[in-house]
Amino acid sequence: MLGTSASWRSRAVRALVLACGLGIAAPAAAQIGSERYSAIVVDARNGTTLVAASPDERRYPASLTKMMTAYMAFEALRDGRITLSTPVPVSYSAASMAPSKLGLTPGTTLTVEEAILALVTKSANDAAAALGELLGGGSEDRFAQMMTLRARSLGMRNTTFRNASGLPDIEQVSTARDMAVLGQHLVHDFPDRYAYFSTPNFVFRGRTLWNHNRLLQEYDGADGIKTGYVDDSGFNLVASAQRDGVRLVAAVFGGRTGRERDRHMMALLDQGFTSVGVAPREMLVARRATPGLLASAHAASLARTSARASAAPRVVTTRVAGRATARLVRGPASRAAPAPGLAAGRGIDQRSSLLRMTSTPTARQPVRLEQGDTSSRVSLPAQRRPAAAAKVTDKPAGKPAGKPVKTAGNGRRSG
């Protein structure tokens, strides 16, 4: 009994230390410019970083995890270990995953191709877990270890996976840079399979599943990759777009809403293309009200830097009646430097001012679930809890134009 109690305390302390190391406070709505925000834009031709904001700070990837699950499946297909028609058994554990999901029944199967399509469109957690169990020799935990080892070999030094779906786990972390690296590898290592990420929809047993990635319809040149969301991450997105022979891969973590995240991603991609000499295209109406997004991110970075500086002790010397007295104090030594576009002397107040420039909802406003979302709100616990105790979802993009993609197994219920 004593050993069990000590073990529990050890796990609790580890969770607390990790949370502090990540700079993660109590659950709160994430937004561009918040502590959960990070972003990067990379030129996929040579890996050059074009735009970056906290790209190496660890964040919760949410369903961006499924990019790695897909990468592992693509490798298995390339090596001949599986085929697109290989049956994927559905265990009780996989079927019990929280939404977003297909609603698979334990004891049934789906094909590898159906599982892949479910990952990239519906972002189905039950399909991800089942596919992970298949590739991990019957164990999703073993598959997560395989994912982590492969990610490290790809150069994703700050990424750790604990499951195949992205369901909340305090130890499952990544960075904007690492996810951009993964996006580049998916494009370059599997050019024939990468097209799955541009699938607008597909039919699974009579139901049409729609892709959650709005950029496929709203940004000229966009052709993938993946959305992600849990309460503690905010709205995440890895996107790729190609114009005039130039491909960019970008990652954004921490949007307050899916729409805010998408607008910010489009602004980042625009800046990236402009920086490499690609002529800008006509802006969509949805993007004309976002002039301050990049400045907002810069101001948030200033706020974090100033906060860290405020916490550092320093010696202040004062003179009273000719006698010098030294004392140790904490607090800012001077005001923060102004962010671009704002007058000096406003310090940390720049952050709220710049956020207002973006027409971003304030933290007091409730987050409205977008059409089609049926998820409940989820927060990471102080300790790891079973995946089924929390929910994760991506916000759907609605029903874009285009014919549903059908696979050979559609409409048939396997044994």
- For residue 233, give the nearest of 16, 29, 71 by alpha carbon: 29
Active site residues: 63, 66, 123
272: its two tokens: 């990236």
245: its two tokens: 């022979």
176: its two tokens: 């904007």
| Residue 226 assigned as binding residue | yes
Angle between helices 293-311 and 349-357 (to 10 degrees): 160
- The DSSP annotation for 3-20 comes to HHHHHHHHHHHHHHHHHH
* 104 touches 126 (CB < 8 A): yes
Side-chain-side CA neighbours of residue 203 (13 Å) = 13
40/21 Cα distance (integer angstroms): 21
CB atoms within 10 A of CB 281: 12
* 40 touches 180 (CB < 8 A): yes
Q: How many whole angstroms from its chain centre is CA 379?
A: 15
Print the SS3 string covering 54-86.
CCCCCECCHHHHHHHHHHHHHHHHHCCCCCCCC
Q: How many whole angstroms from its chain centre is CA 347?
A: 30
Q: What is the CA radius of gyration of the chain?
A: 23
* Residues in binding site: 226
* Residues in binding site for substrate: 226
